[in-house]
């Protein structure tokens, strides 16, 4: 027996603390099982993040559309780096925002999910590969995360799927760093089931510190595991369709 809490108990404890600092979502309110919440101090996350060498050395960053990453997306746009994103649930696929695509003074607006749609450009995986070649840094929010780098608590697995699609398309590899951004209360050392598609994180950034994870788990290298997808995923996620047709046409 490890003596650690199980994931279900830990998740409820984390969410109880998170609710004290969380900002409600316009669609999901405080339903943390459906979205990654913003919270008091997410601006400090971004300030600490951009001080790190892994940020300074990155030219192309993939950032999930999570609520707590708005300040970071604004910093990326202000610093004239290339931003790759998806929309929520990946239902429209991948988008790119290159330096010069957002007018000066509109960076804060473009960091929001409504605002960025004015400026981003949709890309198939093939076009994204042509446009950026390689993604240096991947950033995601988290509902809860262990010091070993495993995210848990939300359950949709979109970031794992994004990694798998980008890996299959040759846009990420072992040199691409993976970062989770969250509140201090979202980190807890608990027993979680680690599945073959779980994408372990290299660093965790909170409003107060940067944590190098224990690197206990290798990152997935199988790409998309088709047999483990939910039944309707291929039909509703365009880049999955793109990859599926490539296989079907071989």
Give the pLDDT score at 1.
42
Give the pLDDT score at 27.
87
DSSP string, 1-36: ---PPBHHHHHHHHHHHHTTTEE-BTTTBT-TTTSP
Digit-coded pLDDT (tens) for 162-219 = 999 999 999 999 999 999 999 999 999 998 888 899 999 999 999 999 999 988 888 8
What kind of fold does domain 7-248 have according to CATH?
A: Rossmann fold (3.40.50)
Digit-coded pLDDT (tens) for 123-168 = 999 999 999 999 999 999 999 999 999 999 876 789 999 999 999 9
Give the pLDDT score at 34.
86
What percentage of the chain's residues is helix, strand, coil (to nearest 5)?
35, 20, 45
DSSP string, 128-197: HHHHHS---EEEEE-SEE-TTS-EESS---HHHHHHHHHHHTTS--TTSEEEEE--GGGB---B-PPPTT
Q: List 96's β-bridge partners, or say none.
A: 84, 121
The structure's pTM equals 0.94
Give the pLDDT score at 33.
85
Give the pLDDT score at 213.
96
Are residues 27 and 37 in contact, defined by beta-carbon separation less than 8 angstroms? Answer: no
Give the pLDDT score at 19.
96
Nearest to 50 by CA among 80, 89, 21: 80
Phi, psi of 153 (to 5 degrees): 110, -30
């Amino acid at each position: 027996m490890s003596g650690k809490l199980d994931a279900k108990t830990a998740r409820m404890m984390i969410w109880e603390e998170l609710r004290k600092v969380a900002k409600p979502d316009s669609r999901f309110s405080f339903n943390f099982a459906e979205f990654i919440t913003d919270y008091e101090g997410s601006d400090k996350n971004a300030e600490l993040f951009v001080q790190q060498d892994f940020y300074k050395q990155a030219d192309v960053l993939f950032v999930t559309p999570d609520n707590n990453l708005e300040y970071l997306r604004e910093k990326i746009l202000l610093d004239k780096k290339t931003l790759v994103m998806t929309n929520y649930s990946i239902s429209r696929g991948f988008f790119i925002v290159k330096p010069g695509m957002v007018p000066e003074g509109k960076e804060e607006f473009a960091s929001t999910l409504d605002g960025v749609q004015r400026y981003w450009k949709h890309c198939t995986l093939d076009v994204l590969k042509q446009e950026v070649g390689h993604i240096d840094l991947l950033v995601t929010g988290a509902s809860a995360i262990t010091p070993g780098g495993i995210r848990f608590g939300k359950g949709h697995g979109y970031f794992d799927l994004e990694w798998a699609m980008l890996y299959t398309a040759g846009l990420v590899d072992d040199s691409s760093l993976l970062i989770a951004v969250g509140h201090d209360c979202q980190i807890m050392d608990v027993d979680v089931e680690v599945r073959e598609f779980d994408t372990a994180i290299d660093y965790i950034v909170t409003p107060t510190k940067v944590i190098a994870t224990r690197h206990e788990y290798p990152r997935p290298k199988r790409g998309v595991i088709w047999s483990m997808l939910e039944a309707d995923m291929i039909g509703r996620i365009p880049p999955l369709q793109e990859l599926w047709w490539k296989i079907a046409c071989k």
